[in-house]
Each structure stands twice: as structure tokens, then as C-alpha cells.
């Protein structure tokens, strides 16, 4: 079946612009997660959703980062006023339920010039 999909696959933006990253989880998966992967920081947890609720936002690096999930399905990660240090690959994952194996999407490579 279809896996986790993310769009866009690549995004180049200028410093100070806002960006939106989209994640479509595996159908039926109730939990959705965002991580980012960068050379300096490795793989970092950002936020997770159980249904449309985000009980744990502690991984978001700053208040410029926000995320929402609607209809228990698609999620959007928004970064406002992007900075060069936001450049990374943003990975989305989903699982049947909290604590189950997380299946990762292909990622969105964000480059902030």
C-alpha cells in the first residue's frame, strides 16, 4: 500500500520567508510525527499528533515553528520568517497508534538562502 508522502520534496527559500511543509500519513494511522535531520544536529524530534491533538510540542525549536493536523490525516508544518539554521531535511512519520513502529516519509529538503 501507499506509504507516507511528503511535499514538496525540495524547497529553496529566502531568509525571512514563510514555508509550509505537508505530510500525508499512511491511511488509518492515528499518530503522526515530525522530525528534522541536519548534519550538525542529527535526527531531532519536533512534534507528534494523536488524532488532531499535539500533546507534546516541546521539540519545536522556536515559536516560529508550528504544526497542525486536520481530519486526523494530513499535517502541515509551518516555519515563519525562516533562518539559515532552519535548513535541514524535515521528515514525517506515522504509526497505527502511539508507541507503534513509526514509518517515515521521503522527507522535504529545505534550503534557506
Partner 1 sequence: ELKVEQNPLFLSMQEGKNYTIYCNYSTTSDRLYWYRQDPGKSLESLFVLLSNGAVKQEGRLMASLDTKARLSTLHITAAVHDLSATYFCAVGGRGTSGSRLTFGEGTQLTVNP
- Beta carbon of residue 81, minimum distance to partner 1 (angstroms, whole number): 26
Instruction: Tell me if 25 contacts partner 1 by CB under 8 A.
Output: no
Of how many residues is the chain composed? 113
Site for partner 1 in 63-102 (CB under 8 A): 91, 93, 98-99, 101-102
Contacts with partner 1 by CB under 8 A lie at 31, 33, 35, 42-43, 45, 48, 50, 55-56, 59, 91, 93, 98-99, 101-107
Amino acid at each position: 500500500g501507499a506509504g507516507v508522502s511528503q511535499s514538496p520534496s525540495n524547497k529553496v527559500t529566502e531568509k525571512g520567508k514563510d514555508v509550509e511543509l505537508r505530510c500525508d500519513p499512511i491511511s488509518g494511522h492515528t499518530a503522526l510525527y515530525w522530525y528534522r535531520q541536519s548534519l550538525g544536529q542529527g535526527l531531532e524530534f519536533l512534534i507528534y499528533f494523536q488524532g488532531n491533538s499535539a500533546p507534546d510540542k516541546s521539540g519545536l525549536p522556536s515559536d516560529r515553528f508550528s504544526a497542525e493536523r486536520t481530519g486526523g490525516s494530513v499535517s502541515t508544518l509551518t516555519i515563519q520568517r525562516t533562518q539559515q539554521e532552519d535548513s535541514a531535511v524535515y521528515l514525517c512519520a506515522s504509526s497505527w497508534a502511539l508507541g507503534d513502529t513509526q514509518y517515515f516519509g521521503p522527507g522535504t529538503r529545505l534550503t534557506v538562502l
